[in-house]
């Protein structure tokens, strides 16, 4: 046996970490540690995305220290002071003994089952996964259970699909198992279409094998020998790690013929999505794998009966699959002890927006919105009041701050007009314009509508036109009612979930923030000061030093004034791009939006 | 496609584009539903897909050109025009939108003179709007040739572009001298 090293170092090298500069820190550490026997490992998303780049130092007794917000230069101090002299660099610590931040509550209020490995194991090393009880669930299924018993175990765990709709996973599996057909397929939906979310990507990047293991167990349960992972082409790192994981699993006999001597065979192929949101919808996704335009089709028949290449197919989300090995390994009872009566287990969220501590979090079902925003997320980053959260992306809804006690589970969210969604959780403060948010999501769905259903195609377009009008100060009194009416028609007249849910962001913002719509329509006033047509940029005379920076930044030469004299913005020429405010070092430029009535008073 | 293979095919494409194209198509022989992966590989190697490439891909694969055409026009991933020297992807995901992505795009348009989704006349910059790049904590975010830039501000991105322009122009004049 080799001697246990005194320290081990891990660098979080998922997309979030690399974007934050972690690769540079990794290289700097590598250089510093050259010639020493201290292992330097790479790992997935550690979860504290707001503190990237992150480096964990683990002492021989298991004591862990997490350093955050690092620059490459900091590696010198970590190596010399902590590794060399045994004295942790307290100023750089974000977690661990001696840390002076309040970040620990970020983790202590979470329950990390799915994310247990992410940020700890090396996702490119199968042994690292196996050492963390990887493939134990598969082993249990293949060596001691029948497919029916596996499905029964999933049933008693209470697992529901994490792709958004929350369909019971065991039902899908048993339908596919019972369907007639020699050839059956497993498909993993890694299309992750919500434009503000990255949970599936992080799981695939940080704990790749867990998804493969889930697919294998599903394949055994329904009697499928082939699996496809349909993954966004925009996720190159996740794709590469999947390729590596598949190759390693094949080398170990965990994929291929006669797996673990059980006679079960299974192979996995990767298909890259080509940038169409609608392909996240299951029937469109299958069309896309078949090499066609991804257009949803009418169900029934459901994929469980007639799916990929006409064969029975069970299609599940990445996170759903990642749950499966945990359930099989720890048992259904342990799993279902977490969560609420109808929603079991945990849910991973990408917590982002105007939040202090944003990142990849995992909570037991039933945790409230307020607990997520304040206890885990540390509150609003701007210091302004908390206004709303948005879940479910373009299919979801906005939840106002005064419903912050709502527990996060499928039924409670549905009751208030929102949905669980796949795991995007956007926090908004007072400076967020809710009409603009609705417009944003509708721009997205209008763009992504495949065009098959008239209501979805032209309806989203017309709703968007109205919303644009409102944000541009052209709103009419009847607009909001028209929006509600059209929303109901689009919901009823669309074939797939895209159209059926596209109006949700509009409906929930109207329901909870009607006053903001009214302010835009009646007073041509944007309370959040976001809508360009309704705001003015003005220079505060007393604060302006006449430094001329803003005048030079202005792309349309709308700012004039002599050097060292207060400047002036020509309101007719100004295009409200914000470059001046952004460049002013003296906070001398303000953004104002004036209710129409008051505005007229001022000018009188 | 694996990185090594892609590099090989890229250098082959510079010498003998048609041969490289055939090679790409033939790698998918016998594969079910191969049309999209074939087109993805062509774009991966050539950077975009021209009408001529579509035609040839149809001939080599036996897939009707019409089908290929309907695919490249449906999926946003496919580019029918070559990209500029620097590909700028601006995140318009939800978090980045809330953090002011529209202002960033506007500022980039001013500085690069490229319309959104298009390439600047000097061929130096292509602007592309994309959804969540997976680092919302750094919003607003963009990537230039796959390097990520976070916490952007409208005037900050102008500086980044000016730097990039300097480097690209220097490279260009060096190329002109050597050729
Ligand atoms: C427009 C649209 C987009 C969707 N996008 C996704 C997605 O990106 N990822 C996903 O897992 N499910 C997505 N779904 C849901 C899938 O159709 C399907 O329900 C899901 O993959 C089933 O997996 P589950 O039972 O494990 O949740 C989408 C549905 C619609 C209507
Ligand atoms: S929304 Fe831009 S990185 Fe996520």
Q: What is the mean pLDDT of each run of 10 residues along chain A (604 residues)?
A: 79 90 95 92 91 94 93 94 93 86 84 93 96 97 98 98 93 97 97 90 95 98 98 90 97 97 97 92 96 92 96 98 97 96 96 94 97 96 96 94 97 94 94 97 95 95 98 96 97 94 97 97 96 95 94 93 95 93 94 76 43
Cα dihedral A169, A173, A179, A184 sign? positive
Indicate which ligand has the atom closest to the C-alpha of B131: 2
B94: nearest CB among A201, A424, A553: A424
Which distant-in-sequence residues (6+ apart) come within 8 Å of A462 by Cβ? A486
Distance CA A203, CA A211 (A): 8
| Mutate-to-test residue for ligand 2 from B90, B98, B136, B142, highest number of ligand atoms within 8 A of CB | B136
CA-to-CA dists, residue A485 to A209, A348, A520, angstroms: 47, 34, 19
A579: nearest CB among B74, B94, B155: B155
Q: Where are any strands of DSSP class E within B85-153?
A: 86-91, 125-130, 142-144, 147-149
User: How far apart, in Å, do the first and last CA atoms of chain B sit?
Assistant: 32
Ligand 1 centroid from CA A200, angstroms: 12
| Mutate-to-test residue for ligand 2 from B89, B90, B91, B105, highest number of ligand atoms within 8 A of CB | B91
Find tokens 């003998």 and name the residue: B16
Residue A200 confidence (pLDDT):
95
Ligand 2 centroid from CA A361, angstroms: 16
Residues of B in contact with A293 (CB under 8 A): 70-71, 74-75
Ligand 1 centroid from CA A220, angstroms: 22
CA-to-CA dists, residue A591 to A213, A234, A431, A577, B63, angstroms: 54, 36, 12, 11, 57
pLDDT tens profile B115-141: 988 999 999 999 999 988 888 989 999
Ligand 1 centroid from CA A291, angstroms: 19
Q: Which one, of A167, A533, A143, A225, lies nearest residue A343 by Cα?
A: A167
Interface membership of A307 toward B (CB under 8 Å) = no
Residue A601 confidence (pLDDT):
46
Which distant-in-sequence residues (6+ apart) come within 8 Å of A11 by Cβ? A17, A22, A25, A26, A29, A40, A41, A42, A43, A53, A54, A55, A56
Contacting B residues, span 32-51, partner chain A, CB-CB under 8 Å: 32-37, 39-40
Chain-chain contact of A276 with B75 (C-beta, under 8 angstroms): yes
* Both structure tokens of A117: 């490995």
B132 Cβ closer than 6 Å to some ligand 2 atom: yes
Question: How far away is chain B from the Cα of A244, in angstroms, using its nearest Cα?
Answer: 10
Interface membership of A84 toward B (CB under 8 Å) = no
Angle of helix B65-74 relative to helix B51-61, nearest 10 degrees? 130
Residues of B in contact with A292 (CB under 8 A): 33, 35, 67, 71
Other beta carbons less than 10 A from residue B122's beta carbon: 15
Chain-chain contact of A294 with B35 (C-beta, under 8 angstroms): no
Other beta carbons less than 10 A from residue A489's beta carbon: 12
The number of helices, as runs of H, and strands, as runs of E, in chain A is: 25, 18
B155: nearest CB among A15, A437, A553: A553
Chain-chain contact of B139 with A555 (C-beta, under 8 angstroms): no
Which distant-in-sequence residues (6+ apart) come within 8 Å of B146 by Cβ? none
Question: How far away is chain B from the Cα of A591, in angstroms, using its nearest Cα?
Answer: 14
A498 Cβ closer than 6 Å to some ligand 1 atom: yes
Q: Which atom of ligand 1 is nearest to the CA of A194?
A: 8
Q: DSSP string covering A277-321, please?
A: GGGGSHHHHHHHHTTS-------SSPTTTS-GGGS-EEEEEHHHH
Query: pTM of the predicted model, to two decimals?
Result: 0.93
**H helix runs in A50-168, sequence order:** 74-77, 85, 104-108, 126-131, 136-144, 147-157
Interface membership of A294 toward B (CB under 8 Å) = yes
Name the residue in chain B with its Cα closest to that of A244: B2
* Both structure tokens of A180: 């007639």
Contacting A residues, span 16-45, partner chain B, CB-CB under 8 Å: 16, 18-20
Other beta carbons less than 10 A from residue B55's beta carbon: 13
CA-to-CA dists, residue A524 to A291, A438, A476, A500, A510, angstroms: 49, 17, 10, 31, 17
Q: Give yes or no for a contact between A599 and A535, defined as CB atoms under 8 angstroms apart.
A: no
Chain-chain contact of A426 with B95 (C-beta, under 8 angstroms): yes
B137: nearest CB among A359, A437, A444: A359
B94 Cβ closer than 6 Å to some ligand 2 atom: yes
Indicate which ligand has the atom closest to the C-alpha of A198: 2
Other beta carbons less than 10 A from residue A156's beta carbon: 15
Pick the CATH number of A7-102 from 3.90.1150.10, 3.40.250.10, 3.40.50.300, 3.40.30.10: 3.40.30.10
Residues of B in contact with A195 (CB under 8 A): 92-94, 131-132
Find tokens 């190329």 and name the residue: B175
Identify whether A53 is preceded by a cis peptide bond (ω within 30 of 0): yes
A289: nearest CB among B33, B97, B141: B33
Cα dihedral A372, A374, A380, A384 sign? positive
Chain-chain contact of B137 with A352 (C-beta, under 8 angstroms): yes
Chain-chain contact of A578 with B103 (C-beta, under 8 angstroms): yes
B145 Cβ closer than 6 Å to some ligand 2 atom: no
Residues of A in contact with B64 (CB under 8 A): none
> What is the fold, at CATH topology level, of the domain defined by A126-336?
Rossmann fold (3.40.50)
Query: What's domain A536-601's architecture?
Result: 2-Layer Sandwich (3.30)
Residue A105 confidence (pLDDT):
83
Q: Whose CA is nearest to atom 9 of ligand 1?
A: A192
Residue B179 confidence (pLDDT):
60
Distance CA A205, CA A236 (A): 10
| Mutate-to-test residue for ligand 2 from A196, A202, A359, highest number of ligand atoms within 8 A of CB | A196
Indicate which ligand has the atom closest to the C-alpha of A20: 2
Other beta carbons less than 10 A from residue B18's beta carbon: 12
Indicate which ligand has the atom closest to the C-alpha of B94: 2
- What is the location of CATH 3.40.50.11540 in chain A? 126-336
Q: Give yes or no for a contact between A288 and A294, defined as CB atoms under 8 angstroms apart.
A: yes
- What is the location of CATH 3.30.70.20 in chain A? 536-601
Distance CA A269, CA A279 (A): 17
Distance CA B100, CA B63 (A): 44
Find tokens 């990642």 and name the residue: A322
Residues of B in contact with A551 (CB under 8 A): none
A275: nearest CB among B3, B77, B92: B77
Chain-chain contact of B33 with A353 (C-beta, under 8 angstroms): no
Distance CA A2, CA A359 (A): 37
Long-range contacts of A281-286 (CB under 8 A, 24+ apart): A281/A496, A281/A497, A281/A498, A282/A187, A282/A189, A282/A315, A283/A496, A284/A450, A284/A496, A285/A187, A285/A189, A285/A191, A285/A230, A285/A315, A286/A187, A286/A313, A286/A315
* Both structure tokens of A573: 């020429």
Find tokens 């449906």 and name the residue: B74
Distance CA A23, CA A113 (A): 27
Residue A604 confidence (pLDDT):
38
Q: Which one, of A457, A120, A424, A137, lies nearest residue A278 by Cα?
A: A457
* Mutate which: A13, A16, A291, vs B, most B CBs within 10 A: A291
Chain-chain contact of A352 with B95 (C-beta, under 8 angstroms): yes
Side-chain half-sphere of A114: how many Cα atoms within 13 Å?
28
Query: What's domain A434-522's architecture?
Result: Up-down Bundle (1.20)
Chain-chain contact of A583 with B155 (C-beta, under 8 angstroms): yes
Pick the CATH number of B86-178 from 3.40.190.10, 3.40.30.10, 3.50.50.60, 3.40.50.920: 3.40.30.10
> Structural domain boundaries of chain B?
3-74, 86-178
Distance of CA A40 to the CA centre of its chain: 29
Find tokens 């246990």 and name the residue: A4
Find tokens 């299919």 and name the residue: A395
Identify whether B140 is preceded by a cis peptide bond (ω within 30 of 0): yes
What's A346-429's CATH class? alpha beta
Q: Give yes or no for a contact between A430 and A387, defined as CB atoms under 8 angstroms apart.
A: yes
Q: Which atom of ligand 2 is nearest to the CA of A352?
A: 4
Q: Whose CA is nearest to atom 18 of ligand 1?
A: A282
A16: nearest CB among B70, B94, B134: B134
| Mutate-to-test residue for ligand 2 from A202, A352, A358, A422, highest number of ligand atoms within 8 A of CB | A352
Chain-chain contact of B136 with A243 (C-beta, under 8 angstroms): no
């Amino acid at each position: 046996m080799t001697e246990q090293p005194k320290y081990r170092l891990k660098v979080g090298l998922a997309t979030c970490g690399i974007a934050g500069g972690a690769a540079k820190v990794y290289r700097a550490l590598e250089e510093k540690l050259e010639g020493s026997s201290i292992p330097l490992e790479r790992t997935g998303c550690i979860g504290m995305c707001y503190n990237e780049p992150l480096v964990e130092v683990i002492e021989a007794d298991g004591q862990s220290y997490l350093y955050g917000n690092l620059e490459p230069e900091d590696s010198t101090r970590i190596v010399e002071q902590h590794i060399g002299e045994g004295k942790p660099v307290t100023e750089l610590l974000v977690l661990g003994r001696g840390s002076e931040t309040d970040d620990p509550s970020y983790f202590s209020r979470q329950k990390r089952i799915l994310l247990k490995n992410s940020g700890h194991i090396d996702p490119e090393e199968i042994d690292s996964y196996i050492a963390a009880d990887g493939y134990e669930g598969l082993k249990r299924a293949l060596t001691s259970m029948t497919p029916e018993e596996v499905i029964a175990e999933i049933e008693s765990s209470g697992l529901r699909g994490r792709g958004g709709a929350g369909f019971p996973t065991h039902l899908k599996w048993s339908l596919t198992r019972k369907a007639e057909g020699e050839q059956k397929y497993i498909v993993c939906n890694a299309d992750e279409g919500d434009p503000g979310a990255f949970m599936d990507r992080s799981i695939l990047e940080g704990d790749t094998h867990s998804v493969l293991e889930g697919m294998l167990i599903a394949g055994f349960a329904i009697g499928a020998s082939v699996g496809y992972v349909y993954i966004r082409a925009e996720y190159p790192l996740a794709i590469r790690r999947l390729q590596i994981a598949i190759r390693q699993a094949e080398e170990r006999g965990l994929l291929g013929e006669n797996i673990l001597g059980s006679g079960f065979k299974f192979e996995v192929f990767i298909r890259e999505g080509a940038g169409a949101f609608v392909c996240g919808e299951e029937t469109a996704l299958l069309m896309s794998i078949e090499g066609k335009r991804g257009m949803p089709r009418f169900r029934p028949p459901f994929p469980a009966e007639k799916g990929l290449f006409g064969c029975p197919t069970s299609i599940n989300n990445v996170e759903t699959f990642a749950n499966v090995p945990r359930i099989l390994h720890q048992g259904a009872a342990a799993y279902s002890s977490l969560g609420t009566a109808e929603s079991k287990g945990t849910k991973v969220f990408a917590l982002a927006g105007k939040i202090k501590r944003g990142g990849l979090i995992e909570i037991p079902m039933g945790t409230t919105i307020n607990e997520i925003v304040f206890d885990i997320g540390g509150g609003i980053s701007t210091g302004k009041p908390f206004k709303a959260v948005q879940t479910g992306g373009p299919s979801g809804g906005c939840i106002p701050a005064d419903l912050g006690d709502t527990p996060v589970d499928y039924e409670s969210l549905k009751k208030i007009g929102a949905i669980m969604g796949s795991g995007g959780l956007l926090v908004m403060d007072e400076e967020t314009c809710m009409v603009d948010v609705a417009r944003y999501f509708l721009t997205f769905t209008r763009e992504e509508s495949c065009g098959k259903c008239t209501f979805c195609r032209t309806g989203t377009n017309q709703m968007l036109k109205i919303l644009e009008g409102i944000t541009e100060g052209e709103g009419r009194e009847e607009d909001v009612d028209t929006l509600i009416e059209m929303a109901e028609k689009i919901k009823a007249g669309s074939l797939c979930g895209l159209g059926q849910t596209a109006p949700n962001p509009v409906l929930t913002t109207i329901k909870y923030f009607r006053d903001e719509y009214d302010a835009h329509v009646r007073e041509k006033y944007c309370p959040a000061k976001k809508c360009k047509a309704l705001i003015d940029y003005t220079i505060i005379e007393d604060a302006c030093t006449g430094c001329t920076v803003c005048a030079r930044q202005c792309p349309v030469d709308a700012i004039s004034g002599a050097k060292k004299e207060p400047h002036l913005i020509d309101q007719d020429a100004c295009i409200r791009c914000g470059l001046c405010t952004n460049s002013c070092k003296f906070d001398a430029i303000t953004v104002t939006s004036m209710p129409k009535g008051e505005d007229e008073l001022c000018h009188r | 496609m694996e990185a090594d293979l892609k590099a090989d095919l890229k250098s082959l494409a510079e010498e003998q584009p048609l041969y490289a194209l055939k090679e790409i198509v033939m790698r998918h022989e016998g594969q079910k539903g191969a049309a999209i992966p074939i087109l993805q590989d062509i774009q991966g190697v050539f950077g975009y897909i021209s009408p001529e490439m579509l035609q040839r891909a149809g001939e080599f694969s036996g897939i009707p050109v019409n089908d290929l055409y309907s695919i490249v026009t449906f999926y946003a991933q496919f580019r029918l025009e070559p990209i500029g020297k620097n590909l700028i992807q601006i995140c318009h995901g939800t978090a980045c939108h809330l953090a002011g992505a529209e202002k960033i795009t506007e500022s980039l348009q001013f500085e690069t003179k490229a319309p959104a989704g298009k390439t600047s006349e000097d061929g130096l910059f292509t602007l592309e709007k994309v959804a969540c790049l997976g680092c919302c904590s750094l919003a607003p975010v963009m990537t230039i040739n796959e390097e990520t830039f976070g916490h952007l501000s409208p005037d900050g991105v102008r500086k980044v572009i000016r730097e990039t322009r300097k480097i690209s122009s220097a490279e260009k004049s060096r190329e002109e001298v050597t050729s």
